[in-house]
Each structure stands twice: as structure tokens, then as C-alpha cells.
Amino acid sequence: MKILQISPTDNVIGGATGLAMDLKSCLENNNIQSPMFVGKKFSDLIDIKEIPKNIFNKAVSFLLASDLDYFQSDIILSSKDFYEANLVHCHNLHGWYFKLETLRKIAQLKPVVWTLHDMWAITPHCSHSFSDKQKDGFYLCSNKNIYPGILWHNERYLMKKKRFIYENNKFNIVVPSLWLKEKVEKSVLKDQKITLINNGVDVDIFKKYNTKDVRREFNLPFEKKIVLVMSFAGKDNPFKGWSYVEKIIERFINNKDVTFVCIGDGLDSERVKYLPLTRDRNVMSKYYSLANVLLYTSLAENFPLVILEAMSCGLPIVSFDVGGIGEVLIDRVNGYLADYKSLSDLENGLMFILNMPLMRLDKMVNNSEEVIREKYTLQIMTQKYIDLYKSCLN
């Protein structure tokens, strides 16, 4: 079997792109070839090819308020990898690299599996709508600046274009969460085959290290309680709710027992320590292992890998109840689900975890590790995809 994947990048750091790369590796471990076409290539793997682009492509798309046209993704159709592929597996097709008309052409020649890592496919242009309002089967974007934003209101054309391609082709849609599955079942894609396959993580990499050892390695205090924050994805992204992190830090300013550790760029202060972003997942596992709790303030999510990775490392989590997070993070069992956009409930959650008796905390850590190993490993996810591929081909 040969599965051709299409993804914005081959960057292992990004959630959706990292998952595509993990799937590629796992498929190959199962003797299934998985070449890729990407919008931007970072690796030196010879079976990953970059879709050509230039400044003109993106400039025209920006001016005409459409990320559906003007890209050179038709090059995929004339490639040897496409010719030899049994099936094409698409991931995010937004990111200013893919012409949606190419998807129509692919679907007329090969079976297509399309994993929706966000809502873009069922909105005019945005990856999250922040609204349940619908028009003609599409969830309406709250404003035109939500990523990927548009210069002017071209929603009517974008919806018409997507609808035409969807209604005249067959896709096997995969969603990582029940939350998104329910939305897709009420959308323009409702008549397509829709399969739930949860994201998975590599439990051989994401595992708990000795807390004292990793704190010593990163020169962090043994006696403090540490709140971990992923600042690299948050400061410039309104989806990630960085303002809530800043306000939480202010509320703990007089608590001498608590230190915040942020992954990403920033200047250290008395209360906040920054550790560099890394592509090394073993180092990320150490980051998870040095903390007492992960503070996750995202305002829009599907089924985030950060949550699964942290749980696999036994780290309790405080998060807003958003997207599919509540499907894996059970309130007060392996973390704390705060009311959406409630700063006071975030604070309540942190205090609940930080002041938890040791015996109950150990049980929470074990619950987190067990649920990942039982339901959300890369191996489980990959086997479900292989089963889906086989059913599509049969």
C-alpha cells in the first residue's frame, strides 16, 4: 500500500503537521509507503516534496481575499508519487499553499481521506468560527481577521466554491473529536462519510522523568510549585488566550511558593522563567515533567496534542472547557476544566491542583498516564487509519 499525504509543512512542532509526520513514520513502520507534498519543507527527507510557490501567489490571494485559488498544487497530479498512490490523505489544506480545485481533481482519480484538524473546511475562511451561526451549511466566521484572514468580505464566493467541490466529489472525512464530528454532521459536509479517529502521541517519548533531576538540569528551584505555560504558541495568537496567562501571573504575584515556567521567547523575571522552544520531543517531555501543573488557556481547540502529551507525562492540567478537550480531560479526575473565559475559575483550578493532597495527586497522575496508554497512543491512531484506508480501497 502507498499513501500520499498532503500537509502545510513537515514541521514536527506544529500540532496538525507534527501529527502528519508521526503518521508517516508509523505507516512506514507498518511497511506502508507514505510520501508527502507540503507547502513548506523543513526536513531533508527525499520523499517529501515542496509545492512550488512565489510571492505573487500569496499576494494575489491576499488582494482577492481567497485562499482557495492561485496556488500551484496541481503539480501533485503529474507526480510519480500520485500515480503510484493507492489513496491520498489530506490534512490541513489552508495555509496559503493549496488550490482547492486540486482536491476535486484528486478525488476524481483516487480515494481521498481528509482529516479536519480544525473548522476551516466548514467555514468560509476561518479555522475556528467562534460561533454556531450557520448559512448554507457553513459556520460563519465571527470576523474576517480570524486566521486565515481575508482582506475584504468575500465569504459568498468562498462558500460557493467550497460547496461546488464538496457536492460533486466523495471524501472520507476524519475528525479527531466528537465535538468536531457533531459540527461536521450539521454542515455542508454532512453527506460525506465521517469517521472519528482521535489523535495519538508516542508514549515511548512522552513519559515522566524524575522531577528533581529535570529541575536540576534546567536550573529550577526544587522547593517551588511550577506552573507550565506554552507561550510560544500564545503571545501572537488570539486563539491561545495569552491575556489570561498574564492576568493569572498577576494574581499569583504575591505567592512566593509558585513559579511560572513559559516555553518560548521572553525575559526572565522574579516570578517567570522562560525555557527555549525545542524540536526535540525528549526535551519537551522533560519540560512537562518539571512542572506541577500545565495552564492551558486556549480559546479555540479541536483535540490538542499538547493536552495528550502532558497527560502522557503524568502532568495535571487546568484548561478551559473548549472544543474536544473535555473528551479526554475529565474534570477533577486528571485535571480541572474551567468555565470558558472565566479567569476566577482558572485560578480556582490552579489552587485545586497545587493544594491537592499527595495521595490524591498521585492518583490523578496515574489516571492521566493510563487513559493515554489505553486510548490515545500513536499505535492505536495509526491502526485506525490503516483500517480506514483498507475500507476505502475495498
210 pLDDT band (50/70/90 cuts)?
very high
Give the mean model confidence (pLDDT) for residues 303-327: 97
pLDDT of amino acid 171: 98
pLDDT at 233 > cutoff 60: no
pLDDT of amino acid 58: 85
233: three-class secondary structure by DSSP: helix
Measure the CA–CA gap between 153 and 162, rounded to whole angstroms: 16
Is-contact 353 177, C-beta < 8 A?
no
Give the mean model confidence (pLDDT) for residues 323-347: 96
In order of their start, the domains of the chain are 3-200+377-393 (3.40.50.2000), 211-375 (3.40.50.2000)
DSSP letters for 49-106:
EEPP--HHHHHHHHHTT-SSSS--GGGGGGSHHHHH-SEEEE----SS---HHHHHHH
pLDDT of amino acid 325: 97
Give the pLDDT confidence of 179-192 residue by residue, as tens digits.
Answer: 999 999 999 999 99
225 pLDDT band (50/70/90 cuts)?
very high
234 pLDDT band (50/70/90 cuts)?
low
Give the mean model confidence (pLDDT) for residues 43-49: 96
Measure the CA–CA gap between 243 and 10, rounded to whole angstroms: 30
Percent of the chain with pLDDT over 90: 90
Q: DSSP letter at 2? A: B
235 pLDDT band (50/70/90 cuts)?
low
236 pLDDT band (50/70/90 cuts)?
low
Percent of the chain with pLDDT over 70: 99
Give the mean model confidence (pLDDT) for residues 314-323: 97
270 pLDDT band (50/70/90 cuts)?
confident
Is-contact 121 232, C-beta < 8 A?
no
pLDDT of amino acid 146: 92
